Amino acid sequence: EPEVTQTPSHQVTQMGQEVILRCVPISNHLYFYWYRQILGQKVEFLVSFYNNEISEKSEIFDDQFSVERPDGSNFTLKIRSTKLEDSAMYFCASTMEGLLGGNTIYFGEGSWLTVV
Amino acid sequence: AQSVTQPDIHITVSEGASLELRCNYSYGATPYLFWYVQSPGQGLQLLLKYFSGDTLVQGIKGFEAEFKRSQSSFNLRKPSVHWSDAAEYFCAVGSNDYKLSFGAGTTVTVRA
């Protein structure tokens, strides 16, 4: 079965440092997403990306966050200046078409970010 | 705005017993409903989804869920649990093309 792959699986960074989390969505998918899960809390939507632009973002996704699809395969999440509260598991996801088309959203295994 | 409530934070069941996980949603239109499972250290795996049609949905690993519009519920069931079903289970609702809203999750412990 095709899968979404994420790197790194775990990263420890110092507060104030920039972090880039990388994702390779499923190859024929068109919609891409980032979600995060702070330890012990629910999975939260961060941002969706379609047609090379952000289609929706949550209030969490402030100016410290950015996303990019630098080439035909990668989808990245950048946190410019990390804060302690950014420590979380970050999930990348993709769908072939939008959710309302009955499509399944496939999640990667996550990148665990620890900010110290 | 849509929201999902999973009333049970933690459920313990014996291996071989039945399991039911509750999910209630709040959404004004026809919801698109999902159940995901997360094993320790793993990502989110889709168990099943409901978009329309038959309100009883079959999923992977022997799970099923029933959509009840009158109760705004989408409860997940399994007739006989296996030790490997120990995990965290998330109910989610999709309201547009771009976003899923997740419940807080229910942790399932299976005792021998």
What mean pLDDT do residues A29-34 have?
Answer: 94
What mean pLDDT do residues B39-58 have?
Answer: 89
Q: Which residues of A touch B107 (CB under 8 A)?
A: none
Closest CA to B72 of B18, B21, B4: B4
Closest CA to A94 of A60, A55, A39: A55
Check residue B42 and give its pLDDT.
Answer: 79
Check residue B65 and give its pLDDT.
Answer: 98
Check residue B40 and give its pLDDT.
Answer: 81
Sign of the CA dihedral with B40 first, then B42, B43, and B45 last: negative
Query: pLDDT category, A10, cuts 50, 70, 90?
Result: very high
Tally A–B CB contacts below 8 A: 65
Closest CA to B76 of B32, B25, B23: B23
β pairing state of A19-24 and B10-14: unpaired
Condensed to tens digits (0 to 9), the pLDDT of residues B57-110 reads: 999 999 999 999 999 999 999 999 999 999 999 999 987 777 889 999 999 999
Condensed to tens digits (0 to 9), the pLDDT of residues B20-36 reads: 999 999 876 778 899 99
Query: pLDDT category, A23, cuts 50, 70, 90?
Result: very high
For tokens 């899923």, the residue is: B100
How many angstroms separate the CA atoms of A48 and A32, rounded? 6
A56 interfaces chain B, CB cutoff of 8 Å: yes
| Percentage, residues of chain A above pLDDT 90 | 81
Is A90 a residue whose pLDDT tops 90? yes
Closest CA to B35 of B83, B110, B88, B96: B88
Is A78 a residue whose pLDDT tops 80? yes
Check residue B20 and give its pLDDT.
Answer: 98
* Residue B105 zone, left/alpha/beta (φ > 0; ψ -120 to 50; rest): left
Average pLDDT over chain A, rounded to an integer: 93
Check residue B10 and give its pLDDT.
Answer: 96
Residues on B contacting A at a C-beta cutoff of 8 Å: 32, 34, 36, 42-46, 49, 51, 90, 92, 94, 96-105
Check residue B53 and give its pLDDT.
Answer: 86
- Mutation test of the interface with chain A: which of B50, B99, B106, choosing the one with the most A Cβ atoms within 10 A? B99
Is A71 a residue whose pLDDT tops 90? no
Average pLDDT over chain B, rounded to an integer: 92
CA distances, A9 to each of A40, A65, B71 (Å)? 18, 19, 40
Alpha helix stretches (DSSP H) within A52-111: none
Check residue A72 and give its pLDDT.
Answer: 79
**CB-based contact A45:A31 (threshold 8 Å):** no
